[in-house]
Structure 1
Amino acid sequence: MRLGQRARNVFWWREGSHRARVALPTEVRTTGNGRVYGPELPDDATVHLVLDLALRIGEVQMSSGAGAADVTATMLAVTNAYGLPRCEVDVIFTSITVCCHRGTDAAPVATLRVVRFRNHDYTRLAAVEDLVRRITNGDISASDAYAELDSITTAPHPYPRWVSTAALAGMAAAVSLLLGGGLVLSLLAAGVTALIDRVNRVLHRRALPLFFQYAVGGALGTGVMSALYATGLLPTGIRPSLAIAASIVVVLAGLSLVSVVQDAITGFNVTAAGRATELAMMSVGLVTGVALALRTAVWLGVPISANSASDPLPPMPSDLPLMAAAGATTSACFALASYATLRALLIAAAAGATGLTSHVVLTLFGFETLVASAAAAILIGFVGGVISRRLRVPPLVVAVSGITPLLPGLPTYRGLFQLTVQNDIGVGLSTLVLAAGVAMALAAGVVLGEYLAQPVRTGLGRLERRLAGPRMAGPLRPADRRLE
């Protein structure tokens, strides 16, 4: 008999109030007749329980916007912690498959789960990550973890739905201040955004596809402000384009820009393509709604002036405190609208203030918008990657919330205005391409910042290096210390 590589896995179970730890032999043996014996695994019921537990954890992460690399690493850490030494995970955006190989004498066990919903609940994501941390540390049995996960996924949101609507309205008001609007314009942007959210809530209950929900949101925000402008109800000097741009930023904030770039960088091309297609469809829906409302306003004879889509005045050094406060409010409001915990709200606010301040400083020094946006996003990803793990907050929450104040709402509106009102196709397309470039620079920058934080962050294991990319959710190291 020839002995292969020796290893030991750990399996936990609870008997009464006593938690035991059993070492499972994983010795691979080859006999004279060539028969191979694999690792000694738990019984079939335990295997099915652990696989289903890993699948449900991966589903929560996937629906919250986590990258495919994060989902894969988390599921492998869970299965490894409960004594399943060789598992394969396949993530393809709409479904997750996991297979446990049990050697040559037993058939492999494979199971699949479909991800049907996309729901940004950062409190649920943080609770699941805390559960995974306890699993990989060996502090909870598989049956208890399954029961706790069920209570996490079935629990209601930590805040009432109207709190989310109020947070989105506050976010629009803060963005209006960033764009140079006053108090009246901020209140108008908040009211329009709250109306969009409530209308889309009704449409969501009626199962209207997201493409049409985004189209309705874009058309509603543009149409309401155009109607107020046409009827003369807006005070003199108020630019409706700023309120429209603020509502566009609110809509853009819900798109999974960071996840698309992360999946593409980490080699999950199928998942990245699926996310990119969804992102493109939602963006086209938003653009369609705004363009339709603008064309309707022109057809009705609304006197929309050309300066309504012009750039605001460049910021001055004296504006930095106000802009930092507005950036912090924007990020915190988005995190609140996504049901983040209080600790995550504070970190998101700090990330928003830091990112926006660095962007404004770089702009004052003469850097272009694209370069300033990328540099600010790198800083957000780096700081979030170093600090958020220590405070037990998923870096994904910090990354997505931190770049929200920098999203190109006004360039998007300006490009659509040039296309639909001024009929300048060349300039309009150029402006829209610039807006798309800024959005991708923000997403790629925050992913790069998280990657640069890896050598600084403690506890970096071989698992993270093996996946060849940054980690924004899930554990950094598996339960099996042999992988470190």
Structure 2
Amino acid sequence: MSQDPQQESFDPRIPEAPVEVSAIPVIRPAHADSDPVTSPAPAVPDAALDPVETDAATGMVEMSTEPVADSPLTQPPLSEPVTTSVLAPADGNGRVPAPQAVPDPDANALEAFADAALHEPQLEESGFADAPFAVPGERSRGRRLPRPRLRRSPKPAADPNPDRVVYGEHMPTQAIALVERLGSSAYGRRMRSRLSARKADQDAAVDARTTLDFALKLGETMFSFGASSMDVESSIIVVTQAFGIHEIEIDLTNQAISLNYAPDSSRGEVPYTLQRVVRSWSTNFAGLGLLHRLVEEIADGETTRAEAQRRLVEIRRTPKPFPAWSEVIMAGVFCGLFVPFIGGTWRGALVGMVSTWIVFWLKIKVEKRGLPEIFSTMLGSFLATTIALTLHAVNVGIDPSLVIAGGIMILLPSSRFVAAVQDAINGFPLTAAGRLTSALLGYMGLMGGIMIGVIGSEIAGLPTLDLAEAPTGSELPAIVLMLLVACAAMSDSIVEQATWKALIASGLVASAAYGVWLLFDGIGTGPRLTPAIAAMAVGFLGRIAALRLGFPQIVVVLPSMLFLLPGLAIFRALYEFTVESGSTLLGVAGIFNATVVVAAIAGGVVFGDILARPLTDRIFVGSRPATGAGHVR
């Protein structure tokens, strides 16, 4: 097959594609005397790009036999340079302005223009009005409308922070409150009232939650400081009612506090159920007194919720009034004062004081290491028993039973016994069961340590004790014994971290209770009923003195009742149960009797507190305003 000479052959070895033949029209200016409709603009050939040639005689197209050279890929295709006069319109006489050379842009000018701030361009009214408009049907072929002149706004002052982006107007898509669309309608006022009420309900819900959190934290703090369940519940009720939270139920279960807030559903408020578990205790009677006064001020309407919250934080952060080492020192002083009270010698009092220092210090150390209380109490009673029996074996001249009795008095869980009985009487059976279980565990640890110490001394070959003779009591004058009781109560107040006012009140109440004990013991009421009657005096007088000074009654009652506890009876019963094989039943009976006396003392304290309530209500509560007066939620 013959190859067409006018058609380029395709060679697959050549990677470039063949150049297509194209014609690029060039715009020419229109003349004033020519009609754009009847006189078309002549074609302008381009020798570089258009290989098509036209014969002048025949008008036929002659194809060039020479192929057009390929343009490089990195350069744009060649074109005829268009002068400035082509783009400029002709004047009224049809004359085209002469071409003008376009100067190259200055690099410095371009850089300055790039750094300039852009502003909203504004059209100049005069330039825009003078610009010609193209009207259909008029002679506008080949003409270009002049571009309106632009006028830039004055450059603003320099921004001290050029990187900051500032929007001068709202975004057009910004959301709006739909209720504003009802401003001119008949429903506008009603909807605004409804939204205001809804916002008030939301604010009330937030206030309710804040009040519940405050009441919960207050109850937790009181529990950890050593308050009874009755005091905790009363304080929570005062706080919630004073700050406007009325639909609330309180549940105290051992160491858990639960608050259930169930408002009326018609108000649209959110119900809450909050709970907090108290996992650690640190006796702080001074802090408990501060909390008691805070609750009194809330009940009187003298403190707002914000102020009460601030004061609660301060109370929780306030250090105890006495350093930690003072607790150890005063525990030994208590033992040294109690030994002569039950008939011991002053030498025995000194031995008991030193041994109690060792026992109490070691007990605190092992509890900080994580040892449970039952084992720390067992260790303390074991050391107290071993030290007393060892010194008795070397003929120091002491009665070990009295020394041990004085040493274990500070280890007895007397506060939990009293709190358990009080909770059971006041309607907290689960909490009372939990406290009683905890107290019994401490009691068992105490007895276990004494038994281990007695058995160890017997194995070591130490001489046994002769407990056939009953203790005759102290031969000191009654006034001296009364002073010993008062000083012992004050010493235990320091151990419990009470203030000086509570310390003095405890000493006075203990002295008065000892006077009652002497009175009824002289009448012959017996060794079991006499301590209970004296405990009633402690509860009665302790409540009056505590409320007069602004403390809960347990702050004064607990140190004042310790002299009534049967420490000597506990040791004698355990010794008979452990060593004397023929007196096992007597030992069991003695343990039971001692436990009954402890329970009777706790019950007497609670009963005396109940007897004093009508009197204290008339004296200290009758002049107060109603609870919640002056408070608005």
Give the structure-2-normalised TM-score: 0.65
Deviations 1:110-140 (A, max 9, x none): 2111111122210010011111112222222
The one-letter code matched in structure 1 to 2:274 is T
For the pair 1:281 / 2:444, whether they are aligned, the reply is no
Quote the residue 1:415 is aligned against. 573
What is the rounded CA distance, in whole Å, between the counterparts of 2:274 and 2:567 in structure 1? 42
1:160 aligned to which of 295, 315, 323: 323
For the pair 1:455 / 2:604, whether they are aligned, the reply is no
Deviations 1:321-367 (A, max 9, x none): 11111111111111111110111001100111111222133223322
Q: Which has the higher helix share?
A: 1
The one-letter code matched in structure 1 to 2:601 is L
What is the rounded CA distance, in whole Å, between the counterparts of 1:258 and 1:478 in structure 2? 29
What is the rounded CA distance, in whole Å, between the counterparts of 1:370 and 1:64 in structure 2? 31
What is the rounded CA distance, in whole Å, between the counterparts of 2:300 and 2:524 in structure 1? 50
Contact 1:373 1:438 in 2 (8 A): yes
| Offset of residue 477 of structure 1 | 7.8
Quote the residue 1:202 is aligned against. 365
Aligned counterparts, 1:355-366, within 5 A: 355-366=513-524
The one-letter code matched in structure 1 to 2:574 is L
For the pair 1:402 / 2:560, whether they are aligned, the reply is yes
Instruction: Give the match's secondary structure for 2:270.
Output: coil
Quote the residue 2:600 is aligned against. 441
What is the rounded CA distance, in whole Å, between the counterparts of 2:611 and 2:410 in structure 1? 29
What is the rounded CA distance, in whole Å, between the counterparts of 1:311 and 1:478 in structure 2? 55
What is the rounded CA distance, in whole Å, between the counterparts of 2:573 and 2:231 in structure 1? 36
Quote the residue 1:66 is aligned against. 227
What is the rounded CA distance, in whole Å, between the counterparts of 2:473 and 2:276 in structure 1? 50
What is the rounded CA distance, in whole Å, between the counterparts of 1:223 and 1:170 in structure 2? 20
Contact 1:68 1:91 in 2 (8 A): yes
Quote the residue 1:468 is aligned against. none
Quote the residue 1:251 is aligned against. 411
| Offset of residue 102 of structure 1 | 2.0
The one-letter code matched in structure 2 to 1:479 is G
Instruction: Give the match's secondary structure for 1:414.
Output: helix
Runs (5+) with no aligned partner, structure 2? 1-197
The one-letter code matched in structure 2 to 1:411 is A
The one-letter code matched in structure 2 to 1:294 is V
| Offset of residue 460 of structure 1 | 8.3
The one-letter code matched in structure 2 to 1:86 is E
The one-letter code matched in structure 1 to 2:218 is I
Contact 1:124 1:152 in 2 (8 A): yes
What is the rounded CA distance, in whole Å, between the counterparts of 2:500 and 2:348 in structure 1? 29
| Offset of residue 40 of structure 1 | 6.7
Aligned counterparts, 1:260-299, within 5 A: 260-299=420-459
For the pair 1:176 / 2:334, whether they are aligned, the reply is no
For the pair 1:87 / 2:243, whether they are aligned, the reply is no
Quote the residue 1:136 is aligned against. 299
Instruction: Give the match's secondary structure for 2:275.
Output: strand
What is the rounded CA distance, in whole Å, between the counterparts of 1:476 and 1:213 in structure 2? 48
Quote the residue 1:19 is aligned against. none
| Offset of residue 49 of structure 1 | 2.0
What is the rounded CA distance, in whole Å, between the counterparts of 1:99 and 1:310 in structure 2? 59
What is the rounded CA distance, in whole Å, between the counterparts of 2:391 and 2:351 in structure 1? 10
Q: 1:186 to 1:272 in 2, by over 3 A?
A: same
Instruction: Give the match's secondary structure for 1:96.
Output: strand
| Offset of residue 480 of structure 1 | 6.2
Deviations 1:182-218 (A, max 9, x none): 2111111111111111101111111111110111111
What is the rounded CA distance, in whole Å, between the counterparts of 1:310 and 1:89 in structure 2? 53
Quote the residue 1:427 is aligned against. 586
Instruction: Give the match's secondary structure for 1:220.
Output: helix
Contact 2:226 2:284 in 1 (8 A): no
Quote the residue 1:329 is aligned against. 487
Q: 1:336 to 1:41 in 2, by over 3 A?
A: farther
| Offset of residue 64 of structure 1 | 3.1
Contact 2:293 2:551 in 1 (8 A): no
Quote the residue 1:470 is aligned against. none
What is the rounded CA distance, in whole Å, between the counterparts of 2:545 and 2:561 in structure 1? 16
What is the rounded CA distance, in whole Å, between the counterparts of 1:185 and 1:398 in structure 2? 28
| Offset of residue 41 of structure 1 | 8.5
Deviations 1:237-263 (A, max 9, x none): x10111100111111155412110111
Instruction: Give the match's secondary structure for 1:69.
Output: helix
Contact 1:62 1:71 in 2 (8 A): yes
Q: 1:121 to 1:55 in 2, by over 3 A?
A: same
Aligned counterparts, 1:100-119, within 5 A: 100-104=261-265, 105-119=268-282
Instruction: Give the match's secondary structure for 1:369.
Output: coil
Contact 1:49 1:142 in 2 (8 A): no
Q: 1:330 to 1:311 in 2, by over 3 A?
A: farther
Length, aligned pairs only: 429
What is the rounded CA distance, in whole Å, between the counterparts of 1:346 and 1:477 in structure 2? 32
Instruction: Give the match's secondary structure for 2:273.
Output: strand
Task: Tell which structure's C-alpha radius of gyration is larger.
Answer: 2
Quote the residue 1:48 is aligned against. 209
Quote the residue 1:312 is aligned against. 471
Contact 1:461 1:476 in 2 (8 A): no
What is the rounded CA distance, in whole Å, between the counterparts of 2:258 and 2:400 in structure 1? 48
Q: 1:362 to 1:114 in 2, by over 3 A?
A: same
User: Share of identical aligned residues, percent?
Assistant: 27
Quote the residue 1:217 is aligned against. 380
2:538 aligned to which of 370, 377, 380: 380
Deviations 1:3-31 (A, max 9, x none): xxxxxxxxxxxxxxxxxxxxxxxxxxxxx
Q: 1:206 to 1:314 in 2, by over 3 A?
A: closer
The CA RMSD over aligned residues, in Å, is: 2.4
Aligned counterparts, 1:223-234, within 5 A: 223-232=386-395, 234=396
What is the rounded CA distance, in whole Å, between the counterparts of 1:384 and 1:476 in structure 2? 25
What is the rounded CA distance, in whole Å, between the counterparts of 2:620 and 2:333 in structure 1? 40
Quote the residue 1:185 is aligned against. 348
| Offset of residue 66 of structure 1 | 2.4
Contact 1:120 1:338 in 2 (8 A): yes
Contact 1:65 1:256 in 2 (8 A): no
Instruction: Give the match's secondary structure for 2:615.
Output: coil
What is the rounded CA distance, in whole Å, between the counterparts of 1:70 and 1:399 in structure 2? 14
